[in-house]
Amino acid sequence: MNTASSAHFDQQYQLHLKHLKLKGLQPKTIDAYARAIRRLGGYFSGQIDALSEAQLTEYFSDLIGTHSWSAVKLDLYGLKFYTTHVLKKPWVMPDLIKPPKAQRLPDIVTVEEAQRLFSATRTLSYRVGDASMFRNGRQFAAWLGLTPSQSGSGGKTKLGRITRRGDDYLRTLLVQGARSVLAATLRKQRRASPKKLTRLQQWIVVLNGRIGYHKTLVAIANKHARQLWAVLAKGEAYNPQAWQRA
């Protein structure tokens, strides 16, 4: 990278950072989009203002060989942001990258009645966008309004109803899916030996007996939200045996 190219890239990069902060994005998203431009700048010697589709195809082909699909998508989103806000140009390559469908629509739970909910994983991906902007599944569930509100005084905290913040449609999908899972689990409990219940179903039965039907629904929906975050943020297929890892 020569002196002129380096100076121009540094100027454009600083402008990129200003736009990221002004748009109110999450800190992790800002870091990811900034890292994307630095990586592109290093690859193309700072000359990224007029990249062709062929150049980007070569870049992302090399990137997928060393990084996850999540990192590849973040670089694409970062470049799109840079193009529209720094270069003031329309984004004209919407179909440049398409992650494998097998990783975007995993089988989240083993209960058959939950399949309808999780066939909507594609909808979740579209409405959430970049799941890695959340630090963990707990933050994602809180964003969906599936965590209890907190209040109190004198150093004592009381938990209230769920906050109901975030996307109403996605929260409704998760709660409806949880209702189906709970109903199927209770039916199986009545008809089968407790030893035949899965680990998840055993947890549901105990929780339902301890806190009641409605709170159990929210707890199941919260667990499913965390599972979905892990799948979307890490770009992995769902593994029901992941809990057995050392």
pLDDT digits (tens, 9 = 90+) for 119-135: 555 555 545 656 666 77
119, 228: one domain = yes
Domain membership of residue 193 (yes or no) is yes
Q: Is the pLDDT of residue 86 over 90?
A: yes
Is residue 96 one of the residues assigned to a domain?
Answer: no
Instruction: Indicate which CATH number applies to the domain containing 29.
Output: 1.10.150
Q: SS3 helix, strand, coil % of the chain, rounded to 5? A: 65, 5, 30
Number of structural domains found in the chain: 2
Q: What is the pTM of this model?
A: 0.45
Q: In which domain, by residue range, is 51 found? A: 3-86
Domain assignment of residue 92, yes or no: no
Radius of gyration of the CA atoms of the chain, in A: 22
Distance between CA atoms of residues 20 and 26, nearest Å: 9
User: Is pLDDT at 104 greater than 50 in this prediction?
Assistant: no
* Domain match, 73 and 111 both: no
**Burial class of residue 93 (count of CB atoms within 10 Å of its CB; 0-12, 13-18, 19+):** middle
pLDDT-derived band at 33, boundaries 50, 70, 90: very high
Encoded tokens for 117: 């909910």
For residue 238, pLDDT beyond 80: no
For 78, counting Cβ atoms within 10 Å of its Cβ (0-12 exposed, 13-18 middle, 19+ buried), the class is buried
